[in-house]
A and B are shown apart, each in its own frame.
Chain A
């Protein structure tokens, strides 16, 4: 099953490679990984999307927690209600009025925004759960997709449960 794990780690060089190295050394799946500083400049927050059996997920959580640079960790998926968001920028072929209309229509359905328009291309911005972004890609004619870039999922727990010091 897919899990989203969020962690706070010391904002030090090498911290990211410790996490990436752990996943490759132990053969764990890593579907996406995002990292950025937090409001506390000494801490970075990392979101990892991974998958595996319950035993593997338990080991991943324990092994991550064992890294000296990891200050705190939460398995967002295992913690119940949460919000997941991913950002995608997608550039599509829009060189005929028919295509331009179709792309605009799909973007509206998915609450996307068109950020850039040229004679031949559109760039659309979409946010949402990763599955929604997958849905948009499916809805597009694959021959018209020129480029996609996705941020990888981030997430936050609902209500009072927080990942903070």
Chain B
């Protein structure tokens, strides 16, 4: 079939099975928008800011496992998208971002809305392309989807000059169903010698620990992780990005680790003798002070990206491969070895862990006259039956969500863990809801974060995405305030938000339902009322305790065994 570049874009997306494209029109992409107008296979979601487009596509990708697709114009369209691209990059989320570019002949002339999009995005993409000939367009798009979704996933930018999509130049089009790149062949299968070494180390452990991260979610290895962990009966901790791959309400799960992880998880990390890290990258928020990290442990590391191994922490036994396949290989090898974990040692180890857990490190004042943010999340968990998709922004509310919503399925917890992007939650919730139209989606946010992409309330109205916004409003940038209290002698420099909008009126102005909740006894009723409104976006503005902090906490320079804990009267 003969097609012009603009139709090649839409036809390709259709052939690739793309359901939604999140975008915002502008000069350089007008041909593509005209092509979108002439078809109905790919549904376009019009956002209100390009950052929202990337986050919405990201939420769609995280919750469905399919790549998120974005279309923005050149110049400011592309630069506005950069924050969302970097967000996806740090969390290894597959996105394909199509950016318009000025006509080829104008490139380099400082033309209207010209920016070097390939140059600007280079450090925060898995790869990017500039299309120089319409004959390369379909193949380049295929390469982009291939690179974004295979190996360690990530965002890929395709920069398309306007003349490439000229409706008057038609060329033969055929969907490139498959593709091979000689320079890109991600490793999938693990070496058997490494598997044997890992099995020996695992079964020789006296104080083992499984540390699972976002890679277990991305690799869809939840089932295999459960089988493997239960086969051994070892304690498991998950990172902020890994929550839900292993169910949280499970006796083997000792909770999240790291800066705001549980006491038992962090102490077990510090004291373990064999650490099995899977799909995790030893991020500084997880390790604390590197010199004090797992001082006595032999470290096994499963990762699809060789450059993740021994990057921050020296690894003794690397297992390079897809998490899912490596876990299958390990489970098989453990069974075949006819060896068993050291039952006696394990019993002592669990006894020690239970003792740590008895500290009840997540306790908070349940008799407070003020609404505690933890209480809201606990009630949200109860009322949604624990099976909602929860997106979040960044700060204290994000940590409370991670600590108190007990995820038992992967891809339900959607947050910007790596880049820590405020403004992520609402657009990500819209993308999540579009990808999961029959499920409950809630966005746990704060009054500071939500304002960074509040304009997407209009998008939510246009596409009737009945997201429930849980705004934990303490009038402070809570996490900034907490650090200022702890480390800057309570000098709250610029962290108090003096002029807040009336969120109820604001929400109503966008066509949604708004609620303000000021007393603890009203929390449950408000949540029930909101979640009963199945087809409406409801914005719940919870006026919470201004002084609440996230505990436990590992301060900068401290090890896992040196946590701050809450002191309750």
Contact = CB atoms under 8 A, between A and B. Distances in A.
Interface string A48-87: 0000000100110011011011110000000000000000
A73 to B, nearest CB: 10
A165 B182 contact: yes
B123 A66 contact: no
B183 A21 contact: no
B183 A17 contact: no
Interface string B123-153: 1001100100000000000000001000000
A62 B307 contact: yes
Q: Which 10 A-B pairs have the closest CB atoms?
A: A62-B307, A71-B183, A68-B127, A25-B123, A68-B184, A62-B306, A66-B307, A63-B307, A21-B122, A71-B182
A18 interface: yes
B183 A69 contact: yes
Given A65-B306, A68-B127, A17 B182 contact: no
A10 B130 contact: no
Given A68-B181, A68-B184, A21 B307 contact: no
B137 to A, nearest CB: 16
B64 interface: no
A14 interface: yes
A68 B126 contact: yes
9 contacts: A14-B122, A55-B310, A58-B310, A59-B310, A66-B306, A68-B181, A69-B127, A71-B182, A165-B182
B182 A21 contact: no
Interface in B464-480: none
A18 B125 CA distance: 11
A21 B123 contact: yes
A9 interface: yes
B557 interface: no
Contacts of B501: none
A9 B183 CA distance: 8
Interface string B309-335: 111001000000000000000000000
B118 interface: yes
Contacts of A68: 126-127, 147, 181, 183-184
Nearest to A64: B307
Contacts of B147: 68
A65 B185 CA distance: 11
Nearest to B126: A68
Contact of A17 (B122, B305, B314): B122
Interface string B159-200: 000000000000000000000011110000000000000000
A63 B184 CA distance: 13
B247 to A, nearest CB: 33
Contacts of B385: none
Contacts of B122: 14, 17-18, 21
B251 interface: no
Nearest to B128: A14
B130 A14 contact: yes
Interface string A18-58: 10010001000000000000000000000000000001001
Nearest to B118: A14
Contacts of B118: 14
Contacts of A63: 307
Nearest to B185: A71
Contacts of A14: 118, 122, 130
B178 to A, nearest CB: 17
A155 to B, nearest CB: 21
Contacts of A71: 182-183
Contacts of A66: 305-307
Contacts of A55: 310, 314
A6 to B, nearest CB: 15
Contacts of A70: 183
A59 B307 contact: yes
A7 B28 CA distance: 36
Interface in A1-19: 9-10, 13-14, 17-18
Interface in B96-126: 118-119, 122-123, 126
A25 B89 CA distance: 15
Interface in A151-165: 165
Given A55-B314, A65-B306, A68-B184, 10 more contacts: A14-B122, A59-B310, A62-B307, A62-B309, A66-B305, A66-B307, A68-B126, A68-B181, A69-B183, A70-B183
